[in-house]
Structure formats: structure tokens, C-alpha cells
Structure 1
């Protein structure tokens, strides 16, 4: 039984700062010991994972992958194309061959939608032989499966490879190819950062398109057109916009893949003409010296007239057409227009107006 003397001694110790300090140090030593033991345990687990097996250097190894019952054959080099920082490439690097889930015939088994895994593998195959001057476009995903595909890419660490963030580079004037399917009736003068088009025909419409196709994903594509010369002609005709079919006749503006604006209040939506009233939208046609900023993104084409401070928008069909090109059409002899990239400041103005 504790007597008065013992209780007094305990009370005195509880009030003694040196006793408190010693107890605190002892507590910290115990915590540090536990932390050290846990750290050593984690390091051993990590070291064990790193020596599961040596990485194979044979890119020609053929994998048979059972994806939900469908067997896909692929080379190791294809599966590891996006190396080394993705889960997908780590799985097939050779280091983990012994730990991958297998089916009854020793095929690697993936419990995912076979259609989506096949899209991934086929895209990797195509990227292996890609011509960098003509980059491979992101794959088309079946309707109703886009969200599932995005989730799968995120899981495997492939999102940035399949859908890289756009490099907001200016229009590459040097590499633009001017296409005139029905003869050279438009004179083309190419400078470092500008292409000027001069209509040389007195008798018919002149169709011009610019390759490569425009990028409609992420931030989309930007370009600038200036009406340098527009002869005083009651019947003058200049059409500016985009087109998905560059093999059509000289009346390209009427093609079902054509979207843009022309003289006399005309707007073309999928080749169908719509004559608008000026009080509805302010669109009245082009004028000499007018500078126009264009932006194609996803499902819309936007044109901003700098001088008029007016913006015009056309909805674009995206279900059937996957590629669009810058598109001009003339019927006024001597008319001149220029194509240039947009600067960062001009893009900002286009987005803010």
C-alpha cells in the first residue's frame, strides 16, 4: 500500500523538469527505432521488387496476351515503345515477366475491354513506323467508350502519349503545300512568314486549299488572312473558310464539307448557303485591307474581323469528317489575299473578343 512518503516522492518527480525531459527523450528514441525498422522493411521490399528478374534486352520477344478472352500477339518492343516511365511499358519490360497474371495456357492475362487494349496496341504499332513529318493522329474511339478509354490510358500511364498537350506553335508557313486541284489559276508567292495568293483567272472560280490538315483538338488551329487587294467589281467574290474534301471542283464552297464566309452576306454551312441580314449578325462581306483572325477548334469555326471588331461563328459537323484544310475561293481577277500565323497577342485578342 502506497504511504504518504511514496506519494510525496512521486509528486515531486512529476514536477521535476529533468524527469520530464528524460521521459520525452525515451519516447523519442522508441519512435525513431520504430521508424527505422519500418524504413528498413520498406527498403527490403523495394529491393526485392527490383530483382524479380533481369530486364530482357530482346525486343523481338513475342507476347501472347489474353485480353478478356481475345488473344493479341505483339512484340516486346511494341509494348515497351513508351518507355521507361509508364506502367504499360514496365509490365512488359522483362523485369516482371514472372509476376504477371497468366491464363491456363501461360498467356499474359489482362482483365480489360479487348477492343480498347487492341486500339492501344495498334496505335503503338503505327507509332513505331511513324514518319515524323506526317504525325500519326490519335485513334478514333467507339461511341460510348471514350470515357472508359481515357480511364484505361490514365491507369497505364499512356494519356500524354496518346493525347499530347499541344505545342502552341505558329502556323508553319514553310511547310504548307498549296493545292489547286483544277489547274494553276492562282499565283502563289511564299515568303518566310507569309503566303500571298493572287487570282489570275478572268473566267471561272479558283479553288485553293492548304495542306497539311488543321488540328481541331485541344487549343485547335489559328491563322490570319488579310484582304490585300479587292478590285472594285460589283460581282467580286472571295470565300474564306475550311474544307474537308480537297478533290472537289472549282465551286468548292458548295461542297458538303465546306464552311466559311463570302461576299453579299453569304455564309456556307456544310456547303449550304445561308444569306444573313446585317442586322442579325453584322456580316456584310469582305472589304479591301480587312484583317481576319481564324480559329478552328473541335466543332466550331470562328472568324474575327479586326477592323469591324465583330466575331462570327459557324458550327462544324464532326461525325463524318476528321480532317479539315484552310480553304480559299476566288472569282475576282486581280484579288490578293495573304495567309499568316497568328501571334500570341493576336490569339489572346481573338479569345477575349
Structure 2
């Protein structure tokens, strides 16, 4: 008997070790792509599955989720064909373009100018600090001294418009590092991540995400996996009132929407350190 196939069929996927559930209609929305062929109903029985019966796809989970989220939007909303253009995830523009090209999406679906809208914060430096932090290399490095003390350091840049990328390296991580933003007029404080205008991520097994100074463990799937020598991008999107954290090693990205009432412009880079010799470098 021939299997009855509909666009409403639920498809269970294991993408690079992460479980994702979506509809057949989303996967086959754009004709002629590898996804539309794989999930046409003719090939699924031949595709590798994991022990739970989920179809296994050996792709980057972060890139795949970015793709699926946009396909879902196209599927759920009326879009003219010329309006179907992928936004490129900040920090992974080239990887995402290569990924959708490999999947057979036509170049007309790519917004080639999107990545050029991101401004590199090459002049960013550490400056204002409270606690036991020492600055080095012309303000590019913030390093905690040998004590165990809550400490804060901020960047010199003020951000009110556009999209900005601050590249950071976790040079020395002892237990945790906190990275985020804060309103520039918020009082300096050793525990600045608890300020009502603070938004950001704390590395480590605690998986802490701070929103309006309140801890929300695991928000947006955050796993705290930021290790010593990791390079991360902090993207400040003033246009859409959100910030993103992108880990180059894991290809994982996280996002926090910003309440403009709680954290009005201008925004400022905000880092908290606690343990001896923990250090963060701003990469030019």
C-alpha cells in the first residue's frame, strides 16, 4: 500500500545531535532543494535514523535551526516570491550562505548585502571598572588579580543605532565569565549583571542568562559551554532591540530581546569577573 503523504506530516529530526521537530511542508517549501527531495516521501525510509527513530542529518544545528526558522515564517505567512530572502545570522554569514548553497537553494534567496550592515567595533576598549580588575594591552585586556572578588569592567563604546559586533576571546577562564550589555548611565557596581538594565550570559555549568538583572537559567537553550581560549562574538542589534552571543568553537548562537524601557540607549559592553587571573581580550 502506498504511504499517504501530506504537508502536515510531522518530521522528527536529529540534526548534529540536537532534536528538531518540524513539518513536511516546511522542509519541502522550496522546490528543487535537497530538503524538498529528501522529504518528498520517496526517500525517508532510506535515510539514516538514530536509536529513537529520528532522521539523522549531519549538519550544524545552529545553521539548520536558522534555516528552519525562516522557512517556517515563509510557510506560515503570505510572502511574495521576491520577498523570500534569507537573513544571514550575524557572525556566521559566510557559513550560512555556503550551507544553503550546499542544500541547493537558488542564489535569489540570499540577501548578499545583509552582512555588510554589521559594523565591527574595532575601537572598543575596556575602561570603566570596579573591583579587582587590571587593564593591559592598551585596554584590550581585562584581567582579574589574584584575589576572589566580584568585579566589573565596561567598554568605551556607546551603541544606539545600527548593528555592532564585538569580538572577544576568553583568554583565561576560572569557573565563569559574564558578558553582556548595560545602559551606560547605570551605576558602576561589582555585581553589575544584577542591574535592572543588564542583559547577558554567564559561562559555565550554571547556564545563567541575565534579563533585566534577573537570572533565567537555560534561556533560549543556553548551555553555558564557553571555555578557555574560546572566541565569541557579542552582536548588539540596536535596530531590532536584541543582542546575540555567538561561539566560534561550537557554532552555537543565543539571543536575548532587549526591553528598551529597562535598558534604554546607549548600550555599553559589560563584563563581570570573579576568580583569580580570569581574563578577557577584545579582538581587533
Q: TM-score, normalised by structure 1?
A: 0.43
1:201–1:331 CA contact under 8 A, matched in 2:
no
Deviations 1:72-99 (A, max 9, x none): xxxxxxxxxxxxxxxxxxxxxxxxxxxx
Q: Is the 8 A contact 1:210 1:327 kept in 2?
A: yes
TM-superposed deviation, 1:307: 0.5
- Identify the residue that residue 223 of structure 1 maps to in structure 2: 166
1:323 aligns with 2:273: no
2-structure distance, mates of 1:249, 1:322 = 19
Matches within 5 A, 1:265-344: 265-276=207-218, 281-298=221-238, 299-319=241-261, 321-341=264-284
1:237 and 2:179 matched: no
CA shift for structure 1 position 203: 3.2
Find the counterpart in structure 1 of residue 192 from structure 2: 252
Task: Return the offset for 1:257.
Answer: 0.6
Residue 262 in 1 paired to residue 202 in 2? yes
- Deviation for aligned residue 1:276: 1.4
Max Rg structure: 1
| C-alpha distance in 2 between matches for 1:288 and 1:177 | 19
Unpaired stretches in structure 1, ≥5 consecutive residues: 1-165, 342-353
Higher normalized helix content (fraction of residues) = 1
What is the CA-CA distance between 1:201 and the residue it aligns to? 5.1
**What is the aligned partner in structure 1 of residue 120 from structure 2?**
170
The 1:262–1:189 alpha-carbon spacing in structure 2 relative to 1, beyond 3 Å, is same
Q: CA RMSD in A?
A: 2.4
Greater shift, 198-207 or 329-338, is seen at 198-207
1:190 aligned onto 2:133: no
2:155 counterpart of 1:210: yes
Which runs of no fewer than 5 residues in structure 2 stay unpaired? Answer: 1-115
CA contact (8 A) 2:126 2:141 kept: no
Shift of 1:249: 1.9
Q: What's the CA shift for 1:187?
A: 1.3
Q: Please state how far the C-alpha of 1:202 moved relative to its aligned partner.
A: 1.6
Q: Give 1:281 shift.
A: 1.6
1:267, 1:275 within 8 Å by CA — same for their partners in 2?
yes
**Is the 8 Å Cα contact of residues 248 and 255 (structure 1) preserved in structure 2?**
no
Distance 1:284 1:176, change over 3 A: closer
Cα distance in 2, alignment partners of residues 177 and 227 from structure 1: 14
